[in-house]
Amino acid sequence: FPMWQLRRLVVRHHFLSGCHNRTITDVTHHNYDVIVVGGGHAGTEAAAAATRIGAKTLLVTQKFETIGALSCNPSLGGVGKGQLVKEVDALDGLMGRAGDYAGVHFSILNRSKGPAVWGPRAQLDRERYKEFIQSELLSTPNLTVIEGSVEDFIVSPADPGKPGKSRVTGVRIANGVGEILASSVVITTGTFLSGSLFMGQTTSPGGRMGEPPSCASISYSLREVLGLKLGRLRTGTPPRIVKDTIDFSLAELHLPDPQPTPFSFVNKRTHCKPEDQLPCHLTYTTPGVDRVVRESLHVNSHIQQDTKGPRYCPSIESRVLRFPGRQHQVWLEPEGLTSDLVYPQGLSMTMTPELQLRLLREIPPLHRAEIRTPGYGVQYDFICPMQLFPWLQVKRVQGLFLAGQINGTTGYEEAAAQGLWAGVNAGRTALSLPPLSLSRTESYIGVMIDDLVSRGVTEPYRMFTSRAEFRTSLRPDNADLRLTLRGFEEVGCVSSQRYSEASRTSCALSEALFALRSVTLSSPRWREKLRGVGISEAKSTLVSGEEMLQHKEVSFEMLASIFPEILAPYLEFSQRIKIEAVYRPHCENQKREMVRIQEEESLTLPPDIDYLSLPVSLSDEVREVLDRARPDTLGAATRLPGVTPAAVVHLLNYVTKTE
Ligand code: FAD
């Protein structure tokens, strides 16, 4: 068998024979350090991370076979989300390696812009993704996986000295199966918490199509027993189309990058060979789509609800209503190497299956499309995340951690990143180690968690590069330097092999930059050599190799061919050295700006300032927030939800200039 088929057989065997997993009755007599509830993207990373910390961990999930399931789009990464995948990987999480194993179409988005905002992305083979995650979990020592539905928590009063606080000491499995005790519990129930599915005018209980929701008693306990504030959000998914019924000749062909770039720092190449990658296709909606949406509104209950959905990934119904008459993109994405289905990204919808078919057939390449499974919507409870500490523990409940969609986020990457960090802290708490936070200056994970716990959510939260004030330092290429070293030395969730490799890279980059600074390019001999590799006279008067490298057309390879004895040892890191050299001045500038904001916290903002027409670069959203809140000081402006640090810098520059 090829390796991947062998792995698949091994995973199936483990699940079917139960040889790696215990039955529920086996585990009810055990005491665990950490119990993770839910085997989605948050739960699997949480369980794996807690185990890496050294905690004896149990993962309880409703169905073995859906562990690591991609509920919606068969893709990973993108702009902002790709950064999260790299950071999860840098902390030794599963997601990046799973993406490299399951990817069938790799591309770097935003390549025309700077590497800080490049978005590593891949289309995935759904089955392979699950297979990788399941196989990793089953081969993790100290981790037990069981199938079961948690219906409640075991709660006791916290320390007598802390009135009003509770402590969670375990979980209760549904159907009277039993109780399991643990020092920490991580809940990652995703879209399943009091979940309802919507299609046309039909509503049914469910967390995902064909799967029941979490027991209603969980929402009840969180709200009534533990006193937490819950809210409700929604999302939706498109119908899956039979591939053979699509006329791809009527759509634009989009090829992957010729050379796939792996997500993981430990992989030199992806599992899928470059030539085996699958294409995507792009098409557009037509006026006929608008017509079907409008004519079906009265029989589409999901769209009539007030519950907030994902603003940046809206249903086709929401798009048509918000932007009438506009053509919308529809990406036709492969579901896997051997799958006969196609995922139409951009066509999430909740009308009846008959109307869904009518709508699809209004799009030229889909004029004879057949649907295998219809689209639907889901509404679910979430916990308002301002009730959490930055280490994702519930403030008023000791031992209880939350991660993923339950915290009001949307997306696999956002869920995985929180899961990893909640797993780390649940493990550390259980082992009597102090909890840890990630700062906004060191990671996108830190930005996301800080946004969640300090600003809360009013709609499903997803990651964008614009949310990070330090994005020139928080690049996908340097996630290992930012996180792997700390992950090993302080957090304890990174393996020694990964740490050694990251340390080697870190040393090589520092040495290479030092070496570049040591070479000067002004002597006639170098000038001649530079001309030889196509670098002009004017540029060759620059002083150091590092400055030279900051020029777009100068590559590290060029300089290494001129100074082979000094630079050739670092050729393996050429691209990374180039990026470091280009970004160093920006990063230093950025740090200075942040210090300036901190120093000017008490700067008074003029009371009559007209935010709506201020002649500076501010988004409409930020202008509206500032106009509504009218903060007295710069510090107050920085703390307003939605006001980005970049906006604060513009405001500061404007006010100090006009003073
Ligand atoms: P999930 O992946 O939902 O996993 C939850 C897990 O918990 C499941 O394995 C479930 O079986 C288990 N579980 C639940 N309750 C219990 C219990 N009581 N006991 C034991 N186990 C339990 N994201 C986007 O970014 N864009 C989209 O357009 C989008 N559309 C979506 C459409 C639909 C219909 C759905 C269902 C999801 C969509 N998502 C979308 C969201 C994406 O799937 C989630 O963000 C991501 O999967 C969340 O990961 P999670 O780990 O928090 O939860």
pLDDT attached to residue 467: 85
pLDDT at residue 134 is higher than 90: yes
Q: pLDDT tens, 138-172?
A: 999 999 999 999 999 999 888 766 667 899 999 99
Which pLDDT does position 536 carry in this prediction?
63
Range of 424-438, 547-561, 639-653 with top mean pLDDT = 424-438
CA of 322 to the centre of ligand 1 (A): 27
Distance CA(170)–CA(27), nearest Å, equals 12
pLDDT for residue 475: 92
pLDDT for the residue 645: 74
Is the CB of residue 356 below 6 angstroms from any atom belonging to ligand 1? Answer: no
71 pocket-lining for ligand 1 (C-beta < 6 Å)? yes
CA dihedral of residues 626, 629, 631, 632 (deg, nearest 10): 140
Q: Is 190 in the pocket of ligand 1 (CB under 6 A)?
A: yes
Does 410 sit in the ligand 1 pocket, CB within 6 Å?
yes
* Ligand 1 pocket, mutate which of 60, 61, 150 (most atoms under 8 A from CB): 61
Mean pLDDT of 268-282: 97
The residue contributing the CA closest to ligand 1 atom 46 is 412
What are the start-end ranges of the H helices in 231-388? Answer: 287-296, 301-304, 316-322, 353-360
Q: 545 pLDDT band (50/70/90 cuts)?
A: confident
The answer, yes or no, to whether any atom of ligand 1 lies below 6 A from the CB of 236, is yes
577-606 residue pLDDT tens: 999 999 988 888 888 887 888 888 889 999
pLDDT band at 28, cuts 50/70/90? low
* pLDDT higher than 60, residue 5: no
Specify the ligand 1 atom closest to the Cα of 419.
Answer: 51
Closest Cα to atom 14 of ligand 1 = 189
- Does the beta carbon of 191 sit less than 6 angstroms from any atom of ligand 1? yes
End-to-end CA distance of the chain: 74
Given ligand 1 and candidates 35, 36, 63, 71, which is best to mutate, with the most ligand atoms within 8 Å of its CB?
71
Rounded average pLDDT over 173-177 = 83
More confident residue, 433 or 588: 433
Residues 335-389: tens digit of each pLDDT = 999 999 999 999 999 999 999 999 999 999 999 999 999 999 999 999 999 999 9
CA distance 592 to 640: 22
Asked whether 302 lines ligand 1 (CB < 6 A), one says no
3-class SS at 58? strand
Cα(616)–Cα(2) distance, integer angstroms? 58
The Å distance, Cα 342 to ligand 1 centre, comes to 21
- Cβ atoms of 236 and 312 closer than 8 Å: no
Element (H, E) at 657: helix 645-658
The atom of ligand 1 lying closest to the CA of 406 is 52
Q: Which of 189, 211, 302, 331 to mutate to test the pocket of ligand 1 (most atoms within 8 A of CB)?
A: 189
Report the separation in Å between the CA atom of 149 and the middle of ligand 1, taken as the mean of its atom positions: 15
What was the pLDDT predicted at 601? 85
Distance, C-alpha 207 to centroid of its chain: 20
- Over residues 25-51, mean pLDDT: 90
Residue with tokens 């500490």: 389
* Helix (H), strand (E), coil (C) string for 466-503: HHCCCCCCCCHHHHHHHHHHHHHHHHCCCCHHHHHHHH
pLDDT at 8: 41
Ligand 1 in contact with 74 (CB < 6 A)?
A: no
* pLDDT at site 18: 40
Instruction: Determine the pLDDT at residue 550.
Output: 86
Atom 22 in ligand 1: residue holding the nearest Cα: 38
Q: Please state, rounded to an integer, the average pLDDT across all residues of the chain.
A: 89
pTM of whole model > 0.80? yes
Does the pLDDT value for residue 51 go beyond 80? Answer: yes
Which residue type does 422 have?
A
Closest atom of ligand 1 to 43 CA is 51
pLDDT at 6: 39
Q: What is the mean pLDDT of residues 626-645?
A: 86
- Is the Cβ–Cβ distance between 444 and 452 less than 8 Å? no
Å from CA of 69 to ligand 1 middle? 8
637 compared with 303, residue with greater pLDDT: 637
pLDDT tens track for 232-257: 999 999 999 999 999 999 999 999 99
Atom of ligand 1 nearest to the CA of 405: 52
pLDDT for 121? 97
pLDDT of residue 590: 81
Atom in ligand 1 nearest the alpha carbon of residue 378: 34
In percent, how much of the chain has pLDDT > 70? Answer: 90
As a whole number, mean pLDDT of residues 529-549 equals 69
Q: Quick check: 99 pLDDT over 50?
A: yes
At 593, list the tokens.
Answer: 């700006």
Ligand 1 in contact with 412 (CB < 6 A)?
yes
Distance 414 CA to ligand 1 centre (A): 11
What is the full DSSP assignment across 164-181? T-EEEEEEEETTTTEEEE
Q: Are 138 and 18 in contact (CB under 8 A)?
A: no
Mean pLDDT calculated for residue range 12-26: 48
- Judged by DSSP in three states, 431 sits in coil
Could you tell me the pLDDT band of residue 15, with boundaries at 50, 70 and 90?
very low
CB 534 within 8 A of CB 469: no
- Name the most confidently modeled range: 216-220, 265-269, 437-441, 540-544: 265-269
Better-predicted residue by pLDDT, 542 or 174: 174
Q: How far is the centre of ligand 1, averaged over its atoms, from the C-alpha of 442 (Å)?
A: 27
Ligand 1 atom with minimal separation from the 41 CA:
51
37 lines ligand 1 (CB under 6 A): yes
Instruction: Compute the distance from residue 190 Cα to the ligand 1 centre, in Å.
Output: 4
Alpha helices of 519-614 — where are they, by DSSP H?
524-532, 545-549, 556-562, 564-567, 574-599
Residue 528 pLDDT > 80? no
Across 92-101, 210-219, 408-417, least confident range: 210-219
pLDDT of residue 113: 86
With a 6 Å cutoff on the Cβ, whether 62 touches ligand 1 is yes
